[in-house]
């Protein structure tokens, strides 16, 4: 596999970072994952906007622009011989070498990496399991897509390797929050519901896009703080993320849902597929 590290195209086994990179030492870094469809990086403008917001909050300085990201993606597709142009992209920025001490500083030489991975044959629906582990509160003012992934890692261990299952976090107060790698939506009586970002959930790029689709399609929706009972009483339920798109739940715990046959879920999936080869941002919808 060929990857980019600090603007250099190299073999993955040759990539290395400083022992004193504060991303390695303290988890001080952020990343984005997004899809490329026939060479088009879907919603990449939105991903970069979120990335730069988080970097600014952490004091990590970079002028990484959309043109450079698109160039890296196109070169990686060619270098790794992904002829379909379909892949998952991971773009990461870590603080870089900050020395051996833990200090408050501005990081102006971050480490930027980018690599692709092939897309597996997608599932058409998934199971959900409500986790006993609660979602931790964001370390800052908002949930970042950060390299500090311990809460998510421990949640994965709770699932004991069940690849067909997404774990669903509740907040400390018992409200539905989000999945381990997803945002959660459900449908009741024709209306869509999803936890507010104020629950501590990541304000996912696909989450935002689905809400934009709802406005376009005149589908009523509500963001808020919801008890678990509201989710389990739903007619349809699905998860979203940039790699798996809109993926319906057929079951959460012992409660069954419409799954891949959900009418509103299917409507949103159809509209999503129309847009994924052309849009750079949800604002173009």
Number of folded domains that form the chain: 2
Based on the domain organization, do 69 and 109 belong to the same domain?
Answer: yes
pTM for the full model? 0.97
The count of other CB atoms within 10 Å of the CB of residue 30 is 26
Question: At 279, phi and psi to the nearest 5?
Answer: -80, 140
d(CA 242, CA 178): 14
* Domain C-terminal end among 66, 85, 117: 117
State the pLDDT at residue 153.
Answer: 97
Does residue 7 sit in the same domain as residue 95? yes
- Averaged pLDDT, 112-125: 93
Query: What CATH number does residue 185 fall under?
Result: 3.20.10.10
Which of the listed residues 89, 117, 145 is the one where a domain comes to its end?
Answer: 117
Local confidence band at 121 (pLDDT 50, 70, 90 cut-offs) = confident
Q: C-alpha distances in angstroms, 234 versus 29, 86, 159, 238, 261?
A: 37, 34, 23, 10, 14
Does residue 243 lie within any of the structural domains?
yes
Do 80 and 176 belong together in one domain? no
98: left (phi over 0), alpha (psi -120 to 50) or beta: alpha
State the residue range of the domain holding 30: 2-117
With H, G, I as helix, E, B as strand and everything else as coil, classify residue 232: helix
Residue 52 falls within a domain, yes or no?
Answer: yes
Same domain membership, residue 133 and residue 196: yes
Residues 147 and 274 in one domain: yes
Q: Are residues 144 and 224 in the same domain?
A: yes
Quick check: is 285 in a domain? no
Output the pLDDT for position 133.
Answer: 98
Same domain, 80 and 131: no
pLDDT of 19 higher than 90: yes
pLDDT at 120: 85
* DSSP per-residue letters across 126-163: EEEEE-SSPPPPPSSSS---BS--HHHHHHHHHTTT-T
62 and 102 in a common domain: yes
Looking at every residue in the chain, the average pLDDT score rounds to 97
Residue 210 lies in a domain: yes
Q: Is residue 14 a part of any domain in this protein?
A: yes
pLDDT of residue 137: 95
46-96 pLDDT tens trace: 999 999 999 999 999 999 999 999 999 999 999 999 999 999 999 999 999
Please check whether residue 149 lies inside any domain of the structure.
yes
- In whole angstroms, how far apart are CA 222 and each of 131, 177, 285? 24, 14, 20
Give the residue from 278, 211, 220, 219 showing the smallest Cα distance to 246: 211
Please, which pLDDT band fits residue 12 given cuts at 50, 70 and 90? very high
Residues 193 and 98 both lie in one domain: no
Residue 83 resides in a domain: yes
Element (H, E) at 55: helix 44-58
Read off the CATH number of the domain in which 15 is found.
Answer: 3.30.470.10
Pair 154, 73 in one domain: no
149-185: pLDDT as tens digits: 999 999 999 999 999 999 999 999 999 999 999 999 9
Q: Which two tokens stand for residue 39?
A: 């060479």
DSSP 227: B
**Does 92 lie in the same domain as 150?**
no
- Is there a domain that residue 237 lies in? yes
What is the residue-wise DSSP string for 189-217? TTEEEEE-GGGT----HHHHHHHHHHHHH
Evaluate if residue 122 carries a pLDDT over 90.
Answer: no
Closest to 145 measured CA to CA, from 39, 243, 268: 243
The DSSP line for 58-125 is HTB-----HHHHHHHHHHHHHHTT-TT--EEEEEEEE--B--SS-----B-S-EEEEEEEPPPPPPS-
Mean pLDDT, rounded, for 36-42? 98
CA distances from 241 to 1, 99, 126, 184 (A): 24, 35, 13, 9
Do residues 93 and 30 lie in contact, with contact meaning Cβ atoms separated by under 8 Å? Answer: yes
Regarding whether 112 and 131 lie in a shared domain, the answer is no
DSSP state of 250: E
Statement: residue 139 has pLDDT above 90: no
Residue at which a domain ends, from 117, 142, 168: 117
């Amino acid at each position: 596999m060929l990857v980019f590290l600090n603007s250099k195209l190299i073999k993955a086994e040759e990539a290395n970072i400083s022992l004193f990179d504060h991303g390695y030492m303290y988890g001080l870094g952020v990343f984005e994952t997004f899809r490329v469809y026939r060479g088009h990086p879907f919603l990449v403008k939105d991903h970069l906007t979120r990335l730069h917001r988080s970097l600014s909050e952490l004091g990590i300085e970079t002028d990484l622009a959309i043109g450079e990201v698109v160039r890296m993606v196109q070169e990686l597709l060619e270098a790794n011989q992904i002829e379909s142009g379909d892949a998952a992209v991971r773009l990461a920025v870590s603080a870089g070498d900050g020395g051996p001490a833990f200090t408050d500083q501005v990081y102006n030489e971050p480490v930027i990496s980018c690599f692709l991975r092939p897309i597996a044959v997608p599932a058409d629906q998934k199971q959900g399991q409500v986790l006993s582990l609660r979602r931790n509160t964001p370390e800052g003012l908002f949930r970042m897509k950060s390299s500090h992934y311990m809460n998510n890692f421990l949640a994965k261990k709770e699932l004991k390797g069940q690849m067909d299952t997404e774990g669903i976090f509740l907040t400390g107060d018992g409200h539905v929050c989000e999945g381990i790698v997803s945002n959660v939506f459900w449908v009741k009586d024709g209306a869509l519901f999803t936890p507010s970002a104020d629950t501590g959930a990541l304000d996912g790029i696909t989450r935002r896009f689905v809400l934009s689709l709802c406005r376009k399609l005149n589908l009523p929706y509500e963001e808020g703080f919801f008890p678990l009972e509201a989710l389990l009483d739903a007619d349809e339920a699905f998860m979203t993320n940039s790699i798996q798109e809109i993926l319906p739940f057929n079951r959460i715990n012992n409660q069954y849902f419409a799954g891949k046959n959900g009418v509103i879920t299917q409507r949103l999936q159809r509209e999503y597929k129309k847009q994924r080869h052309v849009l750079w941002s949800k604002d173009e919808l």
